A and B are shown apart, each in its own frame.
Chain A
Amino acid sequence: MKTIDSNEVQEILNDFVEKDVYIHLETTNGAYASHLDENAYNVGAYIRNAQVSFNQAKIIKDDKIYRVGLKLEMGWIYAEGLTDWELTEKKELLLAGHDRNGRLMVALEISEVPFQY
């Protein structure tokens, strides 16, 4: 993946507007968080291949990280802490936030075809 360029990502987000798309959204601090630090809590959530359509999509830079918000007809999808992106050969837009050690903290992915299951 490469460091996010808002202009490039915004252009790709625009291409998905008003289309039926599949979403992968997740955040995690790892399955071993409370094993390695007894004061920590394991936190994580993911949703894969949720089919949605959004009428607005925006990427916003905040210092070194990015946020993306997608406006649905009856709701919102949001991800914060994004740092890197990639457009795969299958035209899947992958957005991810990595920590200093390269570990994944958050991911938001959008595709017109379902993600492999």
Chain B
Amino acid sequence: MEKHVVVIYPHPDDESFGAAGTITQFRKQGVPVTYLCGTLGEMGRNMGTPPFANRESLPEIRKEELVKACNVLDVELKMLGYRDKTMEYEDRGEVAAHLKGILEEIQPSLVITHYPDHAVHPDHNALGAAAIEAVRLINPEKRPTVWAQAITNTYYEEIGIPDISNDITHYFDTKMEAISAHSSQVDGILSQFTQKDGEYIINEDIKERFSTEQFFTWNFED
């Protein structure tokens, strides 16, 4: 069993879309989970449907949504204080050192982050790379395992099949509840499959998209 799991993603909602089921699975086993959230998603393009946020009010709104989602997922939240869409311009070594300091304090047995160059958003790629660098800097005997999440359309062809595949069907409702907490970003998406009484129309597409969470165990030997 894991001792402590640390999830490192850059945007409020990455945790819910990416790993909510896996996180819930760990919490049900009594494993502490900490989410290090890189930014407040300040530059998000979605403003709610219909829009209720604007460019200046969005950070506070997304922070509240993040706290709500973390309560749903029952995880400890640490906000790293970077700015949306700028992570790739930060000094990689500085971000890695920042993360390493936090990881050495928590001493997790597992770190979950994005797979660099296979995570679509520049912030995902940059924070994933910094997180992996942070773990690489830790003494190999104390190094936590890293699970890296790839989400490009081409990762199967380019890096293969993820070795970790979690069927999270049991935690589907919790995942949907966590995703729903991020109203400003997901109202539009959720309205496509929400019935009038608020029940989700769970078709095969959604099930396939949300019921499996996959990760590559990072190989530090390379």
Contact = CB atoms under 8 A, between A and B. Distances in A.
A105 B51 CA distance: 13
Interface of A: 1, 24, 26, 28, 30-32, 35, 38, 44, 46, 84, 86, 88, 92, 94, 96, 98, 101-105, 107, 109, 115-117
A95 B56 CA distance: 11
A67 to B, nearest CB: 18
A70 B122 CA distance: 32
Given A31-B120, A35-B120, A107 B55 contact: yes
Contacts of A46: 43, 85
B121 A31 contact: yes
B135 interface: no
A21 to B, nearest CB: 15
A-B residue pairs, 9 tightest by C-beta: A102-B51, A31-B121, A30-B45, A103-B45, A35-B120, A102-B49, A104-B45, A107-B55, A101-B188
17 contacts: A26-B43, A26-B55, A31-B45, A31-B120, A32-B120, A35-B152, A46-B43, A84-B51, A94-B55, A94-B56, A101-B49, A101-B188, A102-B47, A102-B50, A103-B46, A104-B46, A109-B55
A104 to B, nearest CB: 5
Contacts, number: 59
A104 B47 contact: yes
A86 B177 CA distance: 31
Given A30-B45, A31-B121, A46-B43, A98 B153 contact: no
Interface residues of B, number: 21
Given A102-B46, A103-B45, A88 B55 contact: no
A37 B63 CA distance: 30
Contacts of B162: none
A98 B56 contact: no
B160 to A, nearest CB: 20
Interface in B41-89: 43, 45-51, 54-56, 59, 83, 85
